[in-house]
Structure 1
Amino acid sequence: MKFSVFQLSRRGGRATNEDRMGYCYTREAALFVLADGMGGHAEGEIAAQLALQAMAAEFQRQATPRLADVPGFLRQGLMLAHERIRAYGRHKRMSDAPRTTLVAAVIQEGQVSWIHCGDSRLYWVRSGVLQARTRDHSYAEMDRNGALKLAHKILNRNVLYTCLGAETAPVVDLAGPHTLQQDDRLLLCSDGLWDVLQEHVLLQRLSNSPVQNAVPALVDAALQVAGSKSDNVTALAVQWEQDEAEPAAIDTQDSDGAFASTIQSLQDLEGFDVSLDEAEIERSIAEINAAIRRSAGHKKV
């Protein structure tokens, strides 16, 4: 299994960055996750980090080295993330637990499946043409589909009606498996990106360059368009490459069955002792992306 991947997150005009993203893989499966901590609720960045850690921990437990049940894993991982966030709120004696959106994708046996809750999106693109994208769990999306009642057309149109960390069980959508073709692109992104860039611009930029160039260009474009009012902008893109393709940034056959991850370990999650120093996160992202750039010129990581 070969693929190129690149991720980038910027704070934009906000005081803090509540977005989190990461990926992990074994020889036969890969998981890509993005979460957007929700403003208006305390410690959204903690909720996003806990969600990533819960998904990664469940992936590590089940992918040995492949997942026996991909849809089952996605559902279980998301619900575990929800429960961990709720448990954190209880642990901290918070009157209102932190909340986050989540979108996660698994690639295994040349097929992709994904799950999402909220308005963080996944785009699947082939030769510049959109194959599929997630539909936001928002009143605005309901309005576009003609399912929104008049009262909600006046009030709360852009509000999400589900998320992780709320008192009610999250509403989720699950898709796949879909067979990938060489050079297909997947983009996971927060609303700081998709809400600013027109979809045709997003698809064009994602398709016309390798992901290590497309992601920075997309993030920079969103920041420039939004200016000082920019939300956090986060993107993680995957370029699928089969054996006959050009050398990939990551060749999982070289992993010797080991688990590799850019997401913090379960240890911090268990004790709810999550270090989220902004400078450390930025350095970590820069180191990961630098390693990807270096490896792009070689045939393995």
Structure 2
Amino acid sequence: MKRVEVAALTSRGLVRAGNEDRVSVFGWSAPREMTEPVLLTRETSEPVLVVVADGLGGHQAGEVASEFAVTALHTALPDVAADPARAFGRVHEDLLALGASQPELEGMATTATALLVTDVITICHVGDSRAYYVEPGFVSQLTTDHVEPGGALTQVLGGRPGREVVPQVREVESAECSRFLLCSDGLHSYVDAAVVREGAALESSFGAARALLRAAVEAGAPDNVSVCVVTVWLEGEKNR
């Protein structure tokens, strides 16, 4: 048995006309414009999944790609739990097929960063959204940005045919109670790392998510910004 608590939010920011980010928690999809986090909690022995996806700006239908990805991953949760990389690969192929079948969607693509909780905690990731491990006064980036020196992404779900997707999969050693941060680049690209570290470690996950959104707004929020502050209690820790 495990308990997972997630404070989740997504916003178009202060500049973009729309929001191509998508946040999904336990199968619940966040609305595209939020001013406050939503707090969700699940206590279960079954696998649970939290996903942040960022449809690529400048590509057709980025919002469709991110929506498709998070929905497909939650729909295929048993497959994700069994083999996260293979499940990501299937979403990639399905996005390519959908883009090929509808000209207005050709080339659509998305990043995806997923946190899977079974008996262990696993991160699966492509693109430049990120996952962090969080402790008071300490934040460690768990994912590697798939970005070329010029700034182009080297790994996405969907996009153009002929490019293989090779997700980063990482099993995370954790204490009985651990905190993680998932976010799109609308946070980490514009907010100083020290501010992210301070905000993510606030005692309340709801307060942490709120503080991170505020920091993005204070930085001008030029991009869509999405945040999931995830606290996991594995078996053996008294639920709080």
TM-score strictly above 0.5: yes
Residue 182 of structure 1 and its aligned partner are, at CA, apart by: 4.0
Q: Does 1:162 align with 2:155?
A: yes
Match of residue 10 from structure 2: 9
Q: Distance in 1 between matches of 2:197 and 2:209?
A: 11
1:50, 1:84 within 8 Å by CA — same for their partners in 2? no
SS at 2:51 equivalent? strand
Task: Mark the runs of 5 or more structure 2 residues left unpaired by the alignment.
Answer: 27-41
| TM-score w.r.t. length of structure 1 | 0.68
Aligned partner (choices 121, 127, 130) of residue 130 of structure 2: 121
Q: Over the residues paired in the alignment, what is the CA RMSD in angstroms?
A: 2.0
Larger mean CA deviation between 192-201 and 36-45 belongs to 192-201
Q: Hey, what's the Cα distance between the residues in 2 that align with 1:217 and 1:126?
A: 16
How far is 1:130 from its partner?
2.7
Aligned to 1:78: 88
- Show the counterpart of 1:206: 200
Q: TM-score, normalised by structure 2?
A: 0.84
Q: Which of 96, 99, 106 lines up with 2:109 in the alignment? A: 99
The one-letter code matched in structure 2 to 1:115 is C
Matched, 1:39 2:88: no
Give the AA of the match of 2:62: G
Contact 2:53–2:70 (CA under 8 A) maintained in structure 1? yes
- Give the deviation of 1:95 after TM superposition: 7.5
Q: Could you say if the C-alpha distance between residues 115 and 93 of structure 1 is closer, same or farther in structure 2, counting changes exceeding 3 Å?
A: same
Structure 1 stretches lacking a partner, 5+ long: 141-156, 248-301
Equivalent-residue separation in structure 2 for 1:16 and 1:170 (angstroms): 27
In 2, the alpha carbon distance for the partners of 1:209 and 1:126 equals 10
Count of equivalent residues: 219
Deviations 1:137-184 (A, max 9, x none): 1124xxxxxxxxxxxxxxxx12212211122122321111x2322442
Give 4+ residue runs of structure 1 displaced > 3 Å after superposition: 242-246
Residues 108 and 128 of structure 1: is their aligned pair in 2 closer, same or farther, counting only changes over 3 Å? farther
Whose strand fraction is larger, Structure 1's or Structure 2's?
2
User: Do 1:127 and 1:184's aligned partners in 2 also have CA atoms closer than 8 Å?
Assistant: no
Query: 2: CA distance between counterparts of 1:113 and 1:103?
Result: 11
In the other structure, the counterpart of 2:32 is: none
Cα deviation digits, residues 109-160 of structure 1 (max 9, x gap) = 1x211111110100012333234421101124xxxxxxxxxxxxxxxx1221
Confirm or deny: 8 A CA contact 2:156 2:165 kept in the other structure. Answer: yes
Kindly indicate whether the alpha-carbon contact (under 8 Å) linking 2:130 and 2:141 is maintained by their aligned counterparts in 1: no
Q: Work out whether 1:234 is the aligned partner of 2:226.
A: yes
Deviation at 1:47, TM superposition (A): 0.3
Quote the Cα distance in structure 2 between the aligned partners of 1:17 and 1:130.
27
2:215 — aligned with what? 221
